[in-house]
Structure 1
Amino acid sequence: MLRRLQFKVDKYRKVEFFFFLTYFYLFRILTDFEYNIWERHIFGVDLSAVEYNIAYGTSNLIAFYSFYKILLHLLIKKKVWQFIVFIVGFLICYSLYNKAVNLLYSNLPFLSEGLRNSALKYLRFRSIGYSLAYVLKEFLAVGSLAYFMYSVQQDEQLKALKEQQLVSELTHLKAQLQPHFFFNTLNNIYSLALQRSVATAPLVAKLAEMMRYILYKSDENLVPLKDEIAFIQNYVEVENIRYRTAINIKFDVQGIDDKSKISPLLLLPFIENAFKHGIEEEAKEGFVNIIICKTEEELTLEVNNSIAKNKGGAGGIGLVNVKKRLEILYPEKHKLEIQNDGKTHQVSLTLEMR
């Protein structure tokens, strides 16, 4: 986060640096060069004009860079009255500033005599010392930059707030998911322990592997898809240990590569839901069929399960949470279809892989 913030600060400084150098040096020099060609029919570089533009370009750059920084601050703070007072004050101070600049230039021995004489001539003027039309042009140019920078920074802040809100919400959803998952799995272990089943120890071992994955991977934004599939496979094996041959469980994986990544624990609730709310109370019949297929652009999850006779449907906090996560992580990049005819429950999820 700090690196990204520093990158944005550096980016803004580069834009400011490029604008002020271009506007107060390059444009002035190119304007004089064009004037010499088309009006005075002088071809080549006029060194006296270059010196003049660099000298007065520097003085104006200093004045209007200060104006820009204060203006940007007032825009960010949204201080309207201070902004109006600042404009009037700047016009007064800019007149005094020009007088001081001309006084300085007229006494600098390393400047050419022509530039010193010009500064002395400007110093003797009884006017305010600048053209209002010229200053208005500077106001518009520098003010436009300040407003642009203000808009960009406002957008960046809004984006950062939205990202922070999404991270907080995802953290909350994951915090709900993990206890829910362990609660269900510990229930399975408890049931087997009551039966003094020899499958209790293998189930505990599998649970330990899954706990390790959740502890070290669930806080990451993306994890390798193959690791997520391995985690799901462990979960299915845990259910196989629990149900043995009573339930027909099929798990098929196709096209999984080493490069694809996915948000952790995103697929689990659909599979967990099939066991928890579909066949948990079935003793002699029932099925769960799981197919995960990865193509070049998409990941598809198909889950079909029978519905227990005394179950009215499927639900649970895990399924509610995963729908919210899909909306946050894959907005308009996922398709979820859930069908229930009273006998079978079908889930079809398609993700556009990032």
Structure 2
Amino acid sequence: MKASHFTINRKYFRMEFGFIFFLSFAITLISDLEYSAYVQHNISKFSDDFGYRVVTESLALICYGIYYWGFLKVYVFRRSLLGVILCSLAFVILDHIFDKYVTNWILAHTDFISQAFRKRALDELSDPRIVFTFNYALISAIFPLTGLAFVVRSFSQDNELKTLKEQQLVSELNYLKAQLHPHFFFNTINNIYGLALKQSTDTAPMVARLGEMMRYILYEADQETVPLSREIAFLSGYIEVEKIRHQKGTNIQFDVQGILPEYRIEPLLLLPFIENAFKHGLEEETGNGFVHIVICQTDEDLTLQVSNSIPETAKGKAVAGIGIKNVRKRLDILYPGGYRLEMNDAPGTYEVTLILPNI
């Protein structure tokens, strides 16, 4: 029955110490006050043995602490019933021996304790007999301390479970972002390929823009959050690339309103909605197609509104691609029940409204 170490967790130490201190001092003090008031009919009588109580309960505090942190809590956390039983049995035996020889010796040699208590301590010290009783130890120490250990273990498990869930969410978010990167690059490289086939003079500027966007994705988008202003700058670069591709017969508008300088957002969260608008709104458009994007922030929330034309050849087709399915999962993780996403398929127009809380 050997405990490997003292299981003292700073997070719960104050609660544990407070409970053990109360068990050692306060309960005895309350008991003495009640005895003085109801039996001796003089509440001030409890002060007669105050020095005695200071010594005995200070020693009890030390014994309870060693028993709890050194042994009992270890076995409770290990879910070892046998260990709990054996260390509790050992505690009763060793506590009686400690009281018999150590506590009584200290009492007998402490000057501020009354003569009556010092004499009683000497008498008990000289008596060779040791009477072991279990009932009082069970009620006053073992059961309360065991309950405390189980409560702390429950709190610890809840925190560990919460930490594990957070780690799983972070892993899932990283996985979803990793999916987004190749999806984005695949689409953009296809755009550059189309321009190259036409030997367009816009190919080089588009490659330069792509380089800037790649730098952002590789060196900034792996952070948990980025300034919204930085994310908007990235989106602006992406929209400029799309403007290069769709120069004739299209109406592309990008409006930003009321951005708060301190606001941060999960990187690449808005891109799929904008990318989707260009892919499905202008890819097959041969007439006057449009993409209108508005990002507006107030003190309460951040709103993204995206609307795009629907070409005749695309009517009846699903407009939500891989990126939209991806971002829905990310929104569920980042803002569980706290965001609003509306997608409306009106005649000739597809509209998306995303509202995020300012948190």
Q: Shorter-chain TM-score: what band?
A: 0.7 to 0.9
TM-score norm. by structure 2 comes to 0.86
Cα displacement (A) at 1:17: 3.0
Correspondence 1:270-309 to 2 at 5 A:
270-309=273-312
1:349 is paired with a residue of what secondary structure? strand
Cα displacement (A) at 1:266: 0.7
Partner residue of 1:269 out of 266, 269, 272: 272
Partner residue of 2:199 out of 176, 196, 199: 196
Distance in 1, Cα, partners of 2:149 & 2:206:
63
Correspondence 1:77-156 to 2 at 5 A:
77-105=78-106, 108=109, 112=113, 113-123=115-125, 124=127, 126=129, 128=131, 132-133=135-136, 135-156=138-159
Cα displacement (A) at 1:40: 5.4
2:312 is paired with a residue of what secondary structure? coil
Q: Which amino acid aligns with 2:82?
A: W
- Is the alpha carbon distance of 1:83 and 1:109 closer, same or farther for their aligned partners in structure 2, counting shifts above 3 Å? closer
Cα displacement (A) at 1:27: 4.9
Distance in 1, Cα, partners of 2:45 & 2:203:
92
Query: Could you say which residue in structure 2 is the equivalent of 1:67?
Result: 67
Cα displacement (A) at 1:283: 3.2
Cα displacement (A) at 1:83: 2.4
Cα displacement (A) at 1:126: 4.6
Cα displacement (A) at 1:128: 2.6
Query: Could you say which residue in structure 2 is the equivalent of 1:12?
Result: 12
Distance in 2, Cα, partners of 1:316 & 1:122:
85
Distance in 2, Cα, partners of 1:280 & 1:74:
66
Cα displacement (A) at 1:331: 0.4
- Which range moved further: 248-257 or 113-122? 113-122
Cα displacement (A) at 1:60: 1.4
Could you tell me whether the CA contact under 8 Å between 1:306 and 1:343 is conserved in 2?
yes
Distance in 2, Cα, partners of 1:34 & 1:217:
68
- Which range moved further: 203-212 or 233-242? 203-212
Could you tell me whether the CA contact under 8 Å between 1:304 and 1:344 is conserved in 2?
yes
Distance in 1, Cα, partners of 2:206 & 2:154:
57
Distance in 2, Cα, partners of 1:27 & 1:89:
23
Structure 2: runs of 5+ lacking an equivalent:
1-7
- Which range moved further: 246-255 or 58-67? 58-67
- Which range moved further: 50-59 or 22-31? 22-31
Could you tell me whether the CA contact under 8 Å between 1:247 and 1:283 is conserved in 2?
no
Cα deviation, 1:181-220, whole Å, max 9, x if unaligned, reads: 1111111112112212121222122222222221222122
Q: Which amino acid aligns with 2:245?
A: R
**Aligned-residue CA RMSD (Å):** 2.6
Partner residue of 1:320 out of 316, 325, 331: 325
Could you tell me whether the CA contact under 8 Å between 2:195 and 2:203 is conserved in 1?
yes
Query: Could you say which residue in structure 2 is the equivalent of 1:345?
Result: 350
Cα deviation, 1:138-195, whole Å, max 9, x if unaligned, reads: 2333223212211111111101100110111011011111111111111111211221
- Is the alpha carbon distance of 1:239 and 1:87 closer, same or farther for their aligned partners in structure 2, counting shifts above 3 Å? same
Distance in 2, Cα, partners of 1:281 & 1:149:
62
Cα displacement (A) at 1:73: 1.8
Q: Which amino acid aligns with 1:85?
A: L
Q: Which amino acid aligns with 1:244?
A: Q
Cα displacement (A) at 1:260: 1.4
Distance in 2, Cα, partners of 1:41 & 1:135:
31
Distance in 2, Cα, partners of 1:303 & 1:159:
36
Q: Number of residue pairs matched?
A: 346
Distance in 2, Cα, partners of 1:296 & 1:308:
37
TM-score norm. by structure 1 comes to 0.87
Q: Which amino acid aligns with 2:219?
A: Y
Cα deviation, 1:210-231, whole Å, max 9, x if unaligned, reads: 2222122212222111111111
Query: Could you say which residue in structure 2 is the equivalent of 1:50?
Result: 50
1:313 is paired with a residue of what secondary structure? coil
Distance in 2, Cα, partners of 1:24 & 1:40:
25
Query: Could you say which residue in structure 2 is the equivalent of 1:4?
Result: none
Cα deviation, 1:114-133, whole Å, max 9, x if unaligned, reads: 44323234443856355723
Could you tell me whether the CA contact under 8 Å between 2:303 and 2:356 is conserved in 1?
yes
Could you tell me whether the CA contact under 8 Å between 2:274 and 2:306 is conserved in 1?
yes
Distance in 1, Cα, partners of 2:220 & 2:95:
60
Structure 1: runs of 5+ lacking an equivalent:
1-7
The answer to whether the aligner puts 1:76 opposite 2:77 as a matched pair is yes
- Which range moved further: 84-93 or 22-31? 22-31
